[in-house]
Structure 1
Amino acid sequence: MLRVSYEAVLKLVSVAALVPDVRQALISGLMCPPRGHHELGSANADGAFLIMPAWRPGGALGVKIATAFPRNHDRGHPFIQGEFLLFDGATGTPVASIDGRALTLLRTAAVSAVAADLLAPPAAETLLMVGTGALAPHLIAGHLSIRKYAEVLVWGRDPGKAASLARQLRQDGIEATAADDLQRAARHADVICSATSSQTPLIRGAWLKPRAHLDLVGSFQPWMRESDDDCVRGALVVTDTLGALAESGDLLDPVTRGVLARERVFLLEEMLRRGPLTQDLGVSVFKSVGVATSDLAAAEHIYARMIETSQRAGRAAIASGS
């Protein structure tokens, strides 16, 4: 069985390359039973244990087993850790074990890009990244793969980390600036992407432009919130799974209080099947918590690239006589 490490995944695959495969997976009817999401409680640092299977009828199948421990930021360990096992669909034989953290970083960013391609203003000029963790550069890369933003703003609770990420982005040729005032940056942005572990709202609906797109990534537990109720009040709200209504405080809280009706929350895969949106959307909100179909699409892509790279290296070795 092939093992693909964290470093190998990030070297082999870009977010932009994953976007078409992830989009197709979301609309093509892959099988995806409800994921196992188990809250571990305070005895396990308020972590969560996730089991996410998916399979392609007549094709590959796989499962991601992952942990999400919010307090790991303070312990020097990654927030998300895990492994994806990929199996041959004809024989059930395990063919690859892929680092789950790297796969999750890339596929999460790819799903956000797919959603923004559908929902974000076509002429968006300013992207605001709220959060400076491991996901942030991948999310920015995803958004830049579908909109040509004139500027990227980065805000973090630690100004030093925001400045560091902006500097890294500039070295990669991206016009990025650290923002010191979140409200001012949010009012200026056309698209806001947020990936934090905040338990209280950071982003206020009163700050959003009339045609803003809000990409909420961080909240995956009921007590976690990145946005206030006004962000979803009257907005077009889309999610990657209706499980988010119970798992994420960003949707659970406003639904519980009657601010947001359950029937006004739409699935991304259904929206994609309808085709491009032509009407003025007003404010749009995409809330992701992760779906196994996108994991499987990413795993298949990574595995194919690994095989291709190995074969190319083998041919080169033969040609050189080594």
Structure 2
Amino acid sequence: MTILLTPEETAAVLPWQGLVDELRLVALDASVKVPARLVQPLAQGANLLIMPALDSDTAITKLITHTPANADKGRPTIQGDVIIFDVATGQRLKMLDGPTVTARRTAAVSALAARELASQPKGPLLVVGAGVQGKAHIEAFAAVLGTQQVMIASRSDASAQALARHAQSLGLKASVVQDANAALADCALTVTCTPASSVVLSSLPKGDSFISAVGAFTPKMIELSADLCRHFTRHGRVVVDTIDALHEAGDLLQAGLDPSAYPNLADILKEKKRLNRTGCVLFKSCGWAGWDLAAARLALKA
């Protein structure tokens, strides 16, 4: 059996619809346990992340580095692996490409949240950030939600144009916009997937907008202005991906908001705090090793 999967092989065992379905199962699985992840600072703003998770059958650890400075040097900002073990025997079963797992499970979580919460889950979609996550979100939203129209905003016009061409190759209507805040009014769905070094969205959304903010996963990172975050608390809804957002949702924390006050995605799926499909929704995604466990479980099924 092949143990170490390449990025291409990892993507092949994580089809979008199957991944979304497995994410839902993990969110509802009472046997899933996810210890707090370790984020070890490295030189020049980089981090080493160690993220374990397990259920009754499978245990995983994701070991990745996040090196923002690589973005300007043509190197990947996320590197590493997801190691899968059998709980009963301790045997190492597979090793998945870490950046591929991260990109696909993050985009699939956004698609799952949009499917459950968005008033208009088919879009149009605004993607702020034209990197790996921007590409993954376009693919996931098209495959899972049937999104047909995409607008792309990025600080790099070349990256935005390349991503637009990729979206067009998928059969989507895609265009590049210079002002993400102006485009927000025309899009029912928005995803912010930037390095989260500064605010990229500050305009107030229309009444039925859905925003998935995925770039910020530490208290010091930010993509959304404080006024925008507070707008959702007053005029819409806020949902976090997991309870771990309590310590990691930089957008909310810097707006003076308590992430523990909001329902998480598992609450929504369990219908304990079901929300109506009306009004604007902010989904704050910080990442969780449980989502990596879902990818591992799907990979083992393949």
Common fold: TM-score over 0.5: yes
Question: Partner residue of 1:291?
Answer: 288
1:290 counterpart SS class: coil
Contact 2:197/2:223 (<8 A) preserved: yes
CA displacement 1:132-176 (0-9 Å, x = unmatched): 001112111222234333411111111221111111111221111
CA RMSD of aligned residues (A): 2.0
- State the partner residue of 1:215: 212
Cross-structure match for 1:9:
10
Instruction: Give secondary structure in 1 for the equivalent of 2:145.
Output: coil
Q: Where does structure 2 lack aligned partners over 5 or more consecutive residues?
A: none
Is 1:94 the counterpart of 2:92 in the alignment?
yes
- Paired with 2:20 and 2:102, the residues of 1 have a C-alpha distance of 13
Q: Which secondary structure state, in structure 2, belongs to the residue aligned with residue 87 of structure 1? A: strand
Distance in 2, Cα, partners of 1:7 & 1:136:
18
1:139 alignment partner, SS class: helix
Q: Which residue of 2 aligns with 1:225?
A: 222
Aligned partner of 2:50 in structure 1 is: 51
8 A contact 1:156–1:162 mirrored in 2: yes
What letter matches 2:154 in structure 1?
Answer: G
Q: Which residue pairs with 1:271 in the alignment? A: 268
Q: TM-score, normalised by structure 2?
A: 0.91
How far did residue 103 of structure 1 move?
A: 1.1
The alignment partner of 1:222 has SS state of coil
1:156-235 matches, within 5 Å, as 156-206=154-204, 208-233=205-230, 234=233, 235=236
Secondary structure of 1:209's aligned partner: coil
Extract unaligned runs of 5+ from structure 1. Answer: 306-322
Partners of 2:50 and 2:63 within 8 A in 1 = yes
* Identity over aligned pairs, percent: 30
Cα 1:144–1:237 change in 2 (3 A) is same
Structure 1 window deviating more from structure 2 (292-301 vs 121-130): it is 121-130
1:220 to partner: Cα distance: 1.5
Q: CA, structure 1 residues 36+167, in 2 after alignment: closer, same or farther (shift >3 Å)? A: same
**What amino acid does structure 2 have at the position aligned with 1:53?**
P
- Separation in 2, partners of 1:117, 1:61: 28
Partner residue in 2 for 1:310: none
Q: Distance in 1 between matches of 2:73 and 2:202?
A: 30
Which residue of the other structure, out of 139, 146, 149, is the alignment partner of 2:147?
A: 149
Q: By how many angstroms is 1:284 displaced?
A: 0.8
Rounded to whole Å, the distance in 2 between the matches of 1:196 and 1:278 is 28
Measure the CA separation in 2 of the matches of 1:269 and 1:127.
24
Partner of 2:237: 236
> Which is higher, the Rg of structure 1 or of structure 2?
1
Change (3 A) 1:304 1:153: same
Residues 4 and 99, structure 1, Cα contact 8 Å, conserved in 2: yes
Secondary structure in structure 1 of the residue aligned to 2:132: coil
Shift of 1:187: 1.3
Tell me how far apart the structure 2 counterparts of residues 281 and 129 of structure 1 sit (CA, whole Å). Answer: 22
Whether the aligned pair in 1 keeps the contact of 2:34 and 2:290 (CA below 8 Å) is no
- The 3-state SS of whatever aligns with 1:9 is helix
TM-score for both structures, normalised by structure 1: 0.86
Residue type at the aligned position of 1:169:
A
Q: Does 1:282 align with 2:279?
A: yes
State the AA in 2 paired with 1:108.
T
**Partner letter of residue 164 of structure 2?**
A
AA aligned opposite 1:223: K
